[in-house]
Amino acid sequence: MKPNLRPILLPIIAFVVLIAAWQFIVVAFEIPAFLLPSPSAILKAALRFGWPLLTVHTAATLETILLGFAISVVLSVPLGVMLASNKLASEAFYPLLVFTHAIPVIAIAPIVVVSVGTGLNARLIVVTLISFFPIMVSTATGILNAPKDMLDLGRTVGASKWQRIATIALPHAVPFMFNGFRIGIVGAVIGAVVGEFVSANSGLGYLVVRSTSDFDIPMAIAAVIILAVMSVTLYQLTAVVQTRVSPWAPQSEN
């Protein structure tokens, strides 16, 4: 085996072995499908459900994730900048924001549905509640982490405080922000599913709830697998965007 293929081949082999073991155990011990369905049963369930319908549900969830994530970014980046650059604002609002983040989102989701009604809005609020915090904190960290030397340089060339933030601290914070984006996007997937649990008639989260109430466990697991794949893909996608946006920054370890 070529050494450069190892990091790709090794996990694939491990994955195939695990799936095979799973299939073997389920078949050999005759485990009922509602307790633990076999991989082949999950695939069959997905096929039975039909890809077109599955695509519709996937698209619905993806819409919630991306919109909610976008709202988080739009809110959190300026908020992070403000917290990092204004001591008064940070002292006044930071504890409040920590408290907001400390609220178990799953507990607040049904309440959100009551106050804003079922529908996309409720789901977006849930997604934003989960993903705004890591983005805000990482933006603030990046701003505060700006090297003193560089800020001194800004002062010696006559840049005002906000000019120093805009031309030095903010670009410096971009890789930090992307760390937040990566955590935020995975949080957004969780938020979208929670949102769909409490208020949706489509989406993969809704599919999980509906399938389990029908004791169609293979179908529920199929939906969960799609969610996991989506989550990993979005996570990797932010890394790809990061290398495009800030090629100068050392890529952080995934």
Partner 1 sequence: MLMADSKPLSKATNTTAAGKAAQDAVRFDHVTISFQIRSGNEVIAVDGFDLGIQPKQFVALVGPSGCGKSTLLRAVAGLIDPTKGQVRVNAPDSLSGFARVAMVFQAPTLLPWKTVLGNVLYPVRFGTKRSGVDYSQRASELLDMVGLTRFRDAYPAELSGGMQQRVAICRALILDPDILLMDEPFSALDALTREELQFEVRRVHQKTGKTILFVTHSMSEAALLADRVVVMAAHPGRLKDDFLLDLPTDRDTATLDLPEFAGYVRRIRDGIYGQREGK
Q: What Å distances lie between residue 154 and 54, 57, 161, 241, CA to CA?
A: 54, 51, 9, 28
Task: Work out whether 167 is an interface residue with partner 1 (CB under 8 A).
Answer: yes
Nearer Cβ to partner 1 (150/225): 150
Best CA proximity match to 179, nearest among 116, 119, 115, 253: 253
- Which residues, including other chains, have CB under 8 Å from residue 202's CB and lie 6 or more apart? 56, 57, 60, 196
Kindly write out the interface string for residues 143-162 of this chain, putting x where it contacts partner 1 by CB under 8 A and - elsewhere.
----x-xx-xxxxxxxx---
Nearer Cβ to partner 1 (108/249): 249
Classified as helix, coil or strand, 155 is helix
* Piece of 21-29, 101-109, 142-150, 203-211 that binds partner 1 (CB under 8 A): 142-150
Classified as helix, coil or strand, 254 is coil
Best CA proximity match to 109, nearest among 131, 124, 97, 95: 124
| Binding residues for partner 1, total number by CB under 8 A | 21
Task: Work out whether 168 is an interface residue with partner 1 (CB under 8 A).
Answer: yes
Kindly write out the interface string for residues 217-246 of this chain, putting x where it contacts partner 1 by CB under 8 A and - elsewhere.
-----------------------------x
Cβ contact 139:114 at 8 Å: no
* Piece of 30-38, 39-47, 164-172, 194-202 that binds partner 1 (CB under 8 A): 164-172
What are the residues binding partner 1 (CB under 8 A)? 147, 149-150, 152-159, 163, 167-168, 171-172, 174, 246-249
